[in-house]
Amino acid sequence: MMRNVCIYPSVRVPLAAVEATVREEIQKRIPQPSVTSAPPGQSVVNFFTIFSTQPSPEQAITFTNPVPGEVRAVPEYSWDFGDGIKGMGPGTAFNPAVLPSRNPGYYLGATYAKPGTKHVTLTVTWRVTFRLEGVIDVPLAPIVMTATEDKPIATARAVLVR
């Protein structure tokens, strides 16, 4: 392995060619992320809103062309919930048997102090490493995917009824 070139038994293959092949194959295998929130639809100021995505497993792919080797791709999840609130990880979908008030830290999400539509962004960054036939690990450019949701947050008022 030289800088920007893979040399495999007298064949020089530009690293860009390896990276293009790897990127194409990985993108076939990994799903586009999506954002799930609970409660669905509108949420309320000062109540915890849960966000999650379906976690994707690490990918391991063996290649023979353009050079023999193995690729590993590992996902990292980062969230921007709006209002300066951030989070890491895929989160956990809401389960009625596990209430957030009784299990702090179990869910990933945000408690909003002000009403309005919050633009929530999930970024999944796949860290990709190519191993040339078991010899050397070469980090490749990450694959970055995003998903968004515009979450309406409302103010609730108590109403006394007779």
**What CATH number is attached to the domain comprising 71?**
2.60.40.10
Q: Residue 131 — pLDDT band, cuts 50, 70, 90?
A: confident
In a domain, 159, yes or no: no
In a domain, 42, yes or no: yes
For residue range 76-108, list pLDDT tens digits in order.
999 999 999 999 999 999 999 999 999 999 999
Residue 142, pLDDT score: 93
For residues 83 and 40, is the Cβ–Cβ distance under 8 A? no
At residue 145, φ and ψ (nearest 5 deg) are -130, 150
Cβ within 8 Å of residue 107, ≥6 positions away: 48, 50, 52, 91, 92, 94, 98, 100
Domain span holding position 141: 5-154
Q: Residue 14 — pLDDT band, cuts 50, 70, 90?
A: confident
In a domain, 66, yes or no: yes
- Single pTM value for the model: 0.85
Instruction: Provide the token pair at 94.
Output: 């809401």
